[in-house]
Structure 1
Amino acid sequence: MTQDATPTPPPPTPFHDLDAYLAVPRVSGLALSPDGARLVVTVQTLDPKATGWTTALWEVDAAGRRPARRLTRSRKGESSAEFSAAGDLLFTSARPDPDAEKDDDDPKAALWLLPAEGGEARVVATAPGGLGGVLTARDADVVSVSAPVLPRAAGLDEDAALRKERTDRKVSAVLHAGYPVRHWDHDLGPDQERRYAATLGSAAVADDTGDPGEARLELTQLTGAGRQLDEHGADLAPDGATLVTTWNVADPGAAQRGTVVAVDTATGERRTLVDDPDADAFAPAVSPDGERVAYLLETITTPDQAPVVRLGLARADGSGEPAVLADDWDRWPTSVAWLPDGSGLVVTADEDGRGPVFLVTFDGGTPEASGVTVERVTADDATFTDVRVARDGSALFALRTSYAAPAEPVRLDLAAFVASGEPGERTPVDAVALPGPVAAPALPGTLTEVETTTADGARVRAWLALPADASPATPAPLLLWIHGGPLSTWSAWSWRWNPWLMVARGYAVLLPDPALSTGYGQEFVQRGWGAWGAAPFTDLMAITDAVESRADVDATRTAAMGGSFGGYMANWVAGHTDRFRAVVTHASLWALDQFGPTTDHAYYWHREMTPEMAEANSPHRFVGDIRTPMLVIHGDKDYRVPIGEGLRLWQELLTRSGLPAGDDGSTVHRFLYFPDENHWVLAPQHAKVWYQVVLAFLAEHVLGESPELPPHL
């Protein structure tokens, strides 16, 4: 008689097992119903084979009394949730249409409507290339969607015919007449985004058979052929009469710049609201009375001057000159929304490794009054995204995240904040978590904050994630993890770059914000501008020195890693110090003269550095000084940092570094290559392989252990 084997105990946290980690559901997006009672979020989960992701929409009780409930379920998933003025829920999905005459072998995302009173969702609009970018009017039964359309197609019917011809003839070629031709991880073209509008009431009327399921929206085309809407941002006026959108225009030197235009949803007539030759305008938001448009403005850089990001305000009728708001506020706004009475704006911005909510109120109650007051609303050590304002102005709803917890829906008592004092003297409030669809995972350690002062007097701060058992008796090996950007910050949970997976293996993970990081003021960005190898590098070394002096950190066992700009900096670190036992560089810039013309938006790079600056700051010049084992990681479909960077780095490591390959080809370096991945490496099993290889490489060189690699590599 045989005894049953002892069952394997579950991992202490999801971070101790990569499969368990990948299986944790992930929350994103937030929509608020007109009556303020319902929130809808998107939850991403693994598909049954654990090789892809699927999404579903969940409803969250805005009052916090009822548990979250699932609204949709399909293999294709749902996204882009928005409430109509009547309270119906709109979303996009490529799931099968039960009313279609036949199944589609290549289904595209359609627009679906889930009635407020309940029942089944039904398709209300389709397009040959799919629909997206759902916008709804606050006070009218109007919706706007975007659709990719082939440039020679006059309308959606002709687009369908042209797409069929390309498919039948197996044509994939794209003829470009402008720049750029790529963006991050996808080719631009052959189709181009166009905007459409419709009245939702046209889909609520039953057809001749009496079945409303057959009704479809009549989509009115608002914009024609062209690349003006690539990666655009837009908003609908409350009455639905005007679409306000970013509009790309060409600049000299194969460059482009964002302007803001208003489009009449009945006639398609277009007028320009913002066209600043020295700045990019983006993220427009129309005021409740429809008379003004708030937006964000980023100045065009030069090799000597870092960008400045500010709030802008323009008249929706195109009259007058746009104005810059809170020009003396030393923070960069990241999103903007209006108060219901139009007396101010709700804004988010990076600040000190966090992303608080701020209230920008107009002195005198109107935008025409002189001056504004900027106040921090949130007290949490967290970052807030997807901020939605209740129509009565009593509350804000948002997703709250930090490096202590992933995104969760929360409520902020705006009325209590406003009542706490006079403008400029109010007390920030704590967010209240709502019963969301996903519980926060248990962490394998603790999060603390550290900082130091550099030789030039700059304050440099960081998050430090420590294993639960780290102590002077058992100090943890240190992993310096450098963020990308470089205009970025370690302020929000990342499922892709997650330090807790390393903490679960015993590492203390340092997440610093060196020069060029956002949230510390304009001067802090300017310190590193055009000199990536200077202050950013010395800041990183200074904060590493400070953390290595801790008794619970083992300064003799350290490694450095980073992705994108963080990968650039990892390469720079490898060529300028031998203090680390291993360096991991992902999607990294290596030879800046090669990178500049081949990245997806080369014109931005040419604004940032002169050829002389690029040469001085290029890591490839110091390959002979690299005496640290390096793990190079790159995806072939990375268009922001093209694969040529990784290929050249790999070849030069093996032939010109201080640790070249032996005569027999043996090397301490490794190259993890993903033929069909992009800048981030997103497929679940590829993300798992990424962590497996990184952890094995670190274990070998930092911990002195034998690497445990996936058997299928």
Structure 2
Amino acid sequence: MTDSADRNIFADLDRYVAQPRVSGLALSPDGTRLVTGVQTLNPDRTGYSTALWQVDPSGEAPARRLTRSAKGEASAVFTPGGDLLFTSARPDPDTKGDDDPKPALWLLPAGGGEARVIATAPGGIGSPLVARDADIVSVAAELLPSAVDLKHDGELRKARDEGKVSAILHTGYPVRYWDEDLGPAETRRFAASLAELSDAPATPLPAAEGDDAPEPAGRLTLRQLTGAGRGLNDGGELTPDGATLVAVLDVPAPGAAQRSTLIAIDTATGERRVLVDDPGYDVYDSAISPDGLWVAYTSETHSTPQSAPVVHLQLVPLAGGEPRVIAADWDRWPGEIVWLPDSSALLVTADEDGRAPVFLISGVTEAPAEARVERVTADAAAFHNLQLTRDGSALYALRTSYAAPDAPVRLDLAAFLAGEAGSRHPIAAQELRSPVAAPELPGTLTEIETVAADGSRVRAWLALPEGASAEKPAPLLLWIHGGPLGSWNTWSWRWNPWLMVAEGYAVLLPDPALSTGYGQEFIQRGWGAWGQAPFTDLMSITDTAVARSDIDETRTAAMGGSFGGYMANWVAGHTDRFRAIVTHASLWALDQFGPTTDAAWYWQRELSPEAALANSPHLSVEKIVTPMLVVHGDRDYRVPIGEGLRLWYELLSKSGSPAADDGSTDHRFLYFPDENHWVLSPQHAKVWYQVVLAFLAKHVLGEERELPATLG
């Protein structure tokens, strides 16, 4: 859907924010239909909506669009019969108009025809799950805590709306998450039988019907599986026969903390039993074996100020029993989990060396701890949204890297499995015909590495602009990733280095201590000591970069967001080597940050009070002489706005380059009153890049640029 002439998008921010973006993947049971979402800019250019597209699994036919609406569609999943389910807040032709429609569950028939609504809830429907071999579906819906059912929830919501009441009475912690105020509604799970749906068209309700009008014919009868109470995650998985829902439930822990458990819920009775409940770790990302006997899941130990978390795959019988660690000696943190059809092995993703390959883990149920791990994918890329055919012959996924954004691919798994176990060679993915052509890059991507003072290998991606050479060396931008438990291994539309490369910068994307994909010890090196190994690793890899003849060591800048913003602040107070520093959504004063973040209990596990002070950037404010651009959104609950406000005041009043007596300063503060941790709306993202590029141009390139007129 993207013409080749439009693929050079990085020189024009309007074209960049309008670039369609692929996300999500679903495979039909017969393996003949692959569906993905394509996000596009809406007509007024202030937001995005997502449509569903069908991709040919063979790679021969072009992709074609399946849905079209202003509200967009999400959460695509196939039924055993091949119908496509999705959620959308688009208008329902079978009910009277609604000024504020909520997402409903829609069904697009496999045999063709228009999509129709099959389930609704006053607060909306989300996260549909379908059993592999049965006509059972489960959906999530948010209900007010005193609601006994969906009808009662609608009455309570109406009373709050009419009274203009937005108050929330909390009885526990947490009270907010990222950019969302928690409560008063809470997630509950419902189940229904798709067999009760009729092929007959729904009967539209007359326009004159009152608020108590019955649902049109052709709707599911939703049975409530879980009652009032916060903590149920909105995901989960149904067993192949649909009899059981396995889900993660957060429960209270001492010290106003919480931890997660794994539960099984009978979809006929709602009876609940606990599968995994260990006070020493949290659980995530469960997957039920096709034979219905096992649940594989990810566990993460609770960190302490002295010890980083440890992540493992684990296995527990669905009928109940003791959990066991899978591949105990595998020094990687597992991500997505998919079972092979015969329930003998797992396909798992994991960060590794600036990539996120797919791995095969064999012998899972016989001797879990000794299970063998083999790399499946050869591509220098990250894979996610794994979709396996019923016969296990092909694996579909979205592939991404800093060379290209998400695109659907096929892996010939049968060919890989035909090799001799233990000596198989990784295989390359086959590109399918994506709905969106990959953009043309304004430069090249390479890798560099160095050896830290303690002997640790530190690597990075380096994006170089076209024409960079010894005769024309490029200015360098050090871009520090957030997390800090993460890696620069996947394309990001929000943090995209190619926009900077198009401006002539070489962009360094390093994975310092605390990064994932290099083993547990590499994480532990920086644990509780953020200003030590992570900082020295960054300076060491920067030294390696500027030693190149195609890099201009006299024109450098540093930037980062979240933990990367923290590190930018630390860099500012511990070196003057950079001409400019951009700090986004950054931690500044660690003595105040902990209790104000949205998950304060996690912070208590991460740094002791003594370590927080020892690693707090604000204590070095008087050493900051580099011009800084501070960026913060007011709806950032992970790193609250108080961090940005205090940083801004102390830069102007206490730094080594304070505001002059007349108030003038080289520092700048870009504030977004209604944005969150990332700054996501298209026009605000555009302003973000415009201001950052203008700030860098002034201090690194010596160029004055006009600021966007939208700033007033």
Q: TM-score, structure 2 length as denominator? A: 0.97
Verify: 1:571 aligned to 2:569, yes or no: yes
What residue in structure 1 maps to residue 384 of structure 2? Answer: 385
Partner of 1:328: 329
CA distance in 1, matches of 2:693, 2:429: 36
Deviation at 1:205, TM superposition (A): 5.2
Deviation string for 1:140-178 (max 9, x for gaps)?
111110000000000000000000000000000111111
Cα deviation code 1:333-367 (max 9, x no counterpart): 0111110110011100000000000000117xx44
Q: Per the alignment, in what secondary structure is the counterpart of residue 10 of structure 2? A: helix
- Provide the secondary structure at the position in 2 that maps to 1:393: coil
Q: 1:74 and 2:53 equivalent?
A: no
Which residue pairs with 2:223 in the alignment? Answer: 220
**Residue 707 of structure 1: CA displacement?**
2.4
Aligned position for 1:348: 349
Q: Return the offset for 1:228.
A: 1.9
- CA–CA separation in structure 1 for the residues paired with 2:362 and 2:107: 36
Q: How does 1:187-198 map to 2 (within 5 A)?
A: 187-198=181-192
Question: 14, 32, 37: which is aligned to 2:9?
Answer: 14
The alpha-carbon deviation at position 371 of structure 1 amounts to 2.4
Q: Which amino acid aligns with 2:245?
A: L
What amino acid does structure 2 have at the position aligned with 1:305? S
Residue correspondence of structure 1 range 109-258 to structure 2 within 5 A: 109-204=103-198, 206=200, 214-229=217-232, 231-258=233-260
Over 3 Å counting, the alpha-carbon distance change for 1:380 and 1:173 in structure 2 is same
1:301 paired residue number: 303
User: Deviation at 1:284?
Assistant: 1.0
Q: Structure 1, residues 555-602: CA drift from partner, whole Å, max 9, x if none?
A: 000000000000000000000000000000000000011110000000
- Residue 13 of structure 1 deviates from its aligned partner by 1.7
**In the alignment, does 2:690 pair up with 1:692?**
yes
Check conservation: 1:196, 1:223, Cα contact below 8 A: yes
1:206–1:213 CA contact under 8 A, matched in 2: no
Could you say which residue in structure 2 is the equivalent of 1:415? 414
* 3-state SS of paired residue (1:702): helix
Alignment partner, residue 401 of structure 1: 400
CA distance in 1 between partners of 2:15 and 2:200 (Å): 48
Cα distance between partner residues in 1 of 2:219 and 2:199: 9
- The residue matched to 1:258 in structure 2 has which SS? strand
Shift of 1:327: 1.1
CA contact (8 A) 1:233 1:283 kept: no
1:638 alignment partner AA: D
Which amino acid counterpart does residue 99 of structure 1 have in structure 2? D
Q: Deviations over 1:602-648 (max 9, x none)?
A: 00000111100000000000000000000000000000000000000
Q: Which amino acid aligns with 1:324?
A: V
When residues 524 and 209 of structure 1 are mapped into structure 2, their CA distance, relative to the original with a 3 A threshold, is closer
Tell me the equivalent position of 1:457: 455
2:475 and 2:556 in contact (8 A); partners too: yes
Tell me the equivalent position of 1:7: none
Q: Which residue of 2 aligns with 1:3?
A: none
Superposed CA offset, 1:685-711 (max 9, x none)? 000000000000000000000122102
Partner of 1:371: 370
Equivalent pairs counted in the alignment come to 699
Alpha-carbon displacement from aligned partner over 1:67-116 (angstroms, at most 9, x marks no partner): 1000000000000000001100000000000111x211111000000000
Unmatched tracts of structure 2, length 5 or more: 206-214
What is the Cα deviation at residue 63 of structure 1? 1.2
User: Could you tell me how far apart the structure 1 residues matched to 2:324 and 2:369 are?
Assistant: 11
Seen in structure 2, the aligned counterparts of structure 1 residues 400 and 12 have a Cα distance that, compared at 3 Å, is closer
Matched to 2:704, the amino acid is: S
Cα distance in 1 for partners of 2:658, 2:368 equals 66
Deviations 1:168-196 (A, max 9, x none): 00000111111111111101101000000
* Per-residue Cα deviation, 1:255-284 (whole angstroms, up to 9, x for no partner): 111100000000000110011110001111
| Distance in 2, Cα, partners of 1:219 & 1:206 | 20
Displacement of 1:712: 2.4
Distance 2:202 2:235 in 1: 38
* CA 574–137 in structure 1, closer or farther in 2 if over 3 Å, else same: same
Distance verdict in 2 for CA 1:650–1:208, change over 3 Å: closer
For 1:645 and 1:367, how far apart are their aligned partners in 2?
51
Using a 3 Å threshold, how does the CA distance of structure 1 residues 293 and 278 change in structure 2: closer, same or farther? same
Sort the Cα spacing of 1:426 and 1:611 in 2 relative to 1 into closer, same or farther, 3 A: same
Match of 1:448 among 423, 446, 449: 446
In structure 2, what is the Cα distance between the partners aligned to 1:371 and 1:469? Answer: 51
Does residue 262 (structure 1) correspond to residue 264 (structure 2)? The answer is yes
Does the CA contact (< 8 Å) of 1:140 and 1:238 recur in 2? Answer: yes
- Equivalent residue letter for 1:16: A
Deviation at 1:420? 2.2
Given candidates 530, 541, 549, the residue that maps to 1:543 is: 541
C-alpha displacement of 1:12: 8.1
Q: How does 1:263-662 map to 2 (within 5 A)?
A: 263-318=265-320, 320-362=321-363, 366-367=365-366, 371-421=370-420, 423-662=421-660
The CA distance in 2 between the partners of 1:370 and 1:134, in whole Å, is 33
Whether the 8 Å CA contact 2:458–2:511 is kept in 1: the answer is: yes
For 2:122 and 2:130, the matched residues in 1 are separated by 22
Q: Is the 8 A contact 2:637 2:677 kept in 1?
A: yes
Q: Determine the structure 1 residue equivalent to 2:39.
A: 44
User: Where does the alignment leave 5 or more consecutive residues of structure 1 unmatched?
Assistant: 1-9
Name the structure 1 match of 2:208: none
Per the alignment, in what secondary structure is the counterpart of residue 465 of structure 1?
Answer: strand
1:62 alignment counterpart: 57
In the superposition, relative to structure 1, how do residues 213 and 375 fare at CA in structure 2: closer, same or farther (>3 Å)?
farther
Change (3 A) 1:113 1:627: same
- Code of the residue aligned with 2:415 in structure 1: it is A
| Residues 484-518 of structure 1 deviation map (CA, whole Å, 9 limit, x = unaligned) | 00000000000000000000000000000000000
Q: Could you tell me whether the CA contact under 8 Å between 1:232 and 1:247 is conserved in 2?
A: no
Q: d(CA) in 2 for partners of 1:208 and 1:74?
A: 20
CA separation of 1:12/1:117 partners in 2, compared to 1, >3 Å: closer, same or farther?
closer
Letter in 2 for 1:416: A
Does the 8 A contact of 1:479 with 1:507 survive in 2? yes
Query: Please, what TM-score do these two structures have when normalized by structure 1?
Result: 0.97
Distance between the aligned counterparts of 1:279 and 1:209, measured in 2? Answer: 51
SS in 2 for 1:694: helix
SS in 2 for 1:712: helix
Quote the Cα distance in structure 1 between the aligned partners of 2:622 and 2:368.
Answer: 61
1:529, 1:296 → 2: CA distance?
Answer: 21
Across the aligned residues of Structure 1 and Structure 2, the Cα RMSD in angstroms comes to 1.5
Q: Is the 8 A contact 2:202 2:217 kept in 1?
A: no
Q: CA shift at 1:368, angstroms?
A: 5.3
Q: Report how far residue 436 of structure 1 moved.
A: 1.1
Q: Percent identity?
A: 70
Structure 2 residue aligned with 1:4? none
Is the 2:630–2:668 Cα contact (8 Å) retained in structure 1? yes
> Are the structure 2 counterparts of residues 290 and 694 from structure 1 closer, same or farther at C-alpha, using a change threshold of 3 Å?
same
Change (3 A) 1:89 1:213: farther
* Rounded Cα–Cα distance in structure 1 between residues aligned with 2:48 and 2:26: 21
| Cα shift at 1:204 | 2.6
User: Which amino acid counterpart does residue 223 of structure 1 have in structure 2?
Assistant: T
Q: Residues of 2 paired with 1:370 and 1:460: CA distance?
A: 30
| Residue equivalent to 2:701 | 703
